[in-house]
Amino acid sequence: MPDMRNSFSLSGPSRALDPRVNAMRGDLADVSLAGKHFSPHYARPVERFCAVLNAPVCDRPEGRQVSELLAGEAFMLLDISGGWAWGYCKHDHYVGYVHADALTEAAQPIAEPLPADPVEAANRFLDQPYVWGGRGGAGIDCSGLIQRSLAAIGIAAPRDSDMQMTALGNALPEGAALQRGDLVFFPGHVGMMVDGENLIHATQHFGRTVIEPLADVVGRVDEDHQSPILARRRVSK
């Protein structure tokens, strides 16, 4: 592939940037970070597309899956080495490595759309296996379920639950009743209310996506946390 690397000078001190959504490593960084993060080289991203049903996004070559690219989704390529493409998913800027042979230059058809209602969209994933980093291809995790469900109504949610808790919706006041579509955040976990009492979530406890009473989820989490619910947020289109 053509050499995309360029050199720039740093005009100010490096800032602490979240490496999950800022493409930077020891030898190379996204050119958009020039002036914010020092790197010996910078690269301009080149758009590629997922040509398979689903492709794991890993934290390093042959490493742990941290997300998943689905058919037709765009990947912003910064480097290829040893059969691995490094860059970020265009829809949420999540950084990682993808098998290079899963990508193509030509735009691909996007996977079938979900119902234009977040709870109905989430229900499409009921009983799907829980897979860390999954977004509904070979499996799904808790934040992947929320991201895919909100995308159905045009909301671009961040990838991980801690990011979602900061970025999505409005905090509910203490004592406010929960309603359909509200998000409930726990330490390292998130789910969506299907009504005032029941939560749909992708959970390691059952190894799949389930609907169960929120009180049952709180009871399990409460074994290790005095206040298991970190936040309750209401999202509107």
Is there a domain that residue 33 lies in?
A: yes
Return the number of other C-beta atoms located less than 10 Å from residue 18's C-beta: 12
Spatial separation of the C-alpha atoms in residues 166 and 62, rounded to whole Å: 31
Give CA torsion, residues 90, 91, 93, 98, to 10 deg. -60
DSSP bridge partners of 54: 70
Query: What pLDDT sits at residue 1?
Result: 45
Is there a domain that residue 111 lies in?
A: no
Query: What pLDDT sits at residue 222?
Result: 65
Query: What pLDDT sits at residue 120?
Result: 98
Is there a domain that residue 112 lies in?
A: no
> CA-CA distances (angstroms) from residue 132 to 1, 146, 153?
32, 14, 24
Per-residue pLDDT of the chain (237 residues; tens, 9 = 90+): 444 555 555 555 556 899 999 999 999 999 999 999 999 999 999 999 999 999 999 999 999 999 999 999 999 999 999 999 999 999 999 999 999 999 999 998 887 889 999 999 999 999 999 999 999 999 999 999 999 999 999 999 999 999 999 999 999 998 899 999 999 999 999 999 999 999 999 999 999 999 999 999 998 876 655 668 999 999 987
Q: Which of 51, 79, 104 is the last residue of a domain?
A: 104
pTM of this prediction exceeds 0.85: yes
Q: Which of 66, 117, 63 is nearest to 93 (CA)?
A: 66
Report how many domains make up the chain.
2
Spatial separation of the C-alpha atoms in residues 171 and 133, rounded to whole Å: 26
Q: Per-residue b/e over 192-220, b at no fewer than 16 CB within 10 Å?
A: bbbeeebbbbbbeeeebbbbbebeebbee
Spatial separation of the C-alpha atoms in residues 31 and 153, rounded to whole Å: 32
Give yes or no: residues 93 and 154 share one domain: no
Spatial separation of the C-alpha atoms in residues 167 and 51, rounded to whole Å: 30
Give yes or no: residues 130 and 97 share one domain: no
The dihedral region occupied by 167, where left means phi > 0, alpha psi between -120 and 50, and beta the remainder, is: alpha
DSSP bridge partners of 6: 42
Is there a domain that residue 54 lies in?
A: yes
Per the structure, the complete domain to which residue 70 belongs is given by 5-104
